[in-house]
Amino acid sequence: MNNHLNIVLIGFMGCGKTTVGKNLSKKLSYPFVDSDLEIEKEIGMTISDYFKKYGENNFRLIEEKIIQKLASGTRKIIATGGGIVKNPGNIYHLKQNGLIIYLKASAEHIYNNLKNDFSRPLLNVEDKYTRIQSLLEERKSLYEKYSDYIVEVDGKAVDEITKSIIDYLEEGYRL
Please write the tens of the pLDDT for every residue from 125-164: 889 999 999 999 999 999 999 999 999 999 999 999 999 9
pLDDT band at 34 (very low <50, low <70, confident <90, very high): very high
- Average pLDDT in the chain: 92
Inside any domain, residue 125: yes
Is 18 part of any domain? yes
Number of domains in the chain: 1
Asked if the model's pLDDT at residue 87 lies above 50, the reply is yes
CA end-to-end span of the chain: 8
In a domain, 1, yes or no: no
Percent pLDDT > 90 in the chain is 82
d(CA 76, CA 74): 6
Q: How confident is the model at residue 124 (pLDDT cuts 50, 70, 90)?
A: confident
pLDDT of amino acid 139: 95
- Nearest-angstrom CA–CA distance, 136 and 106: 8
DSSP states along 60-116: HHHHHHHHHHHHTSSS-EEE--TTGGG-HHHHHHHHHHEEEEEEE--HHHHHHHHTT
Helix 158-167 / helix 17-28 crossing angle, nearest 10 deg: 60
Give me the pLDDT at residue 42, please: 95
**pLDDT over 80 at 73, yes or no:** yes
Q: If you ran DSSP here, which 8-state letter would residue 142 be given?
A: H
Range of the domain at 146: 6-172
Mean pLDDT for the stretch of residues 56-74: 92
Q: Domain for residue 52, yes or no?
A: yes
**pLDDT for residue 94 is more than 90:** yes
Query: pTM surpassing 0.85?
Result: yes
Dihedral angle computed from the Cα positions of residues 43, 31, 20 and 127, in that order, rounded to the nearest 10 degrees:
0
CB 105 within 8 A of CB 15: yes
In this structure, what CATH number is given to the domain that contains residue 34? Answer: 3.40.50.300
Is 55 inside any structural domain?
yes
**Burial tier of 71 (Cβ tally within 10 Å: 0-12, 13-18, 19+):** buried
Residue 24 within any structural domain of the chain? yes
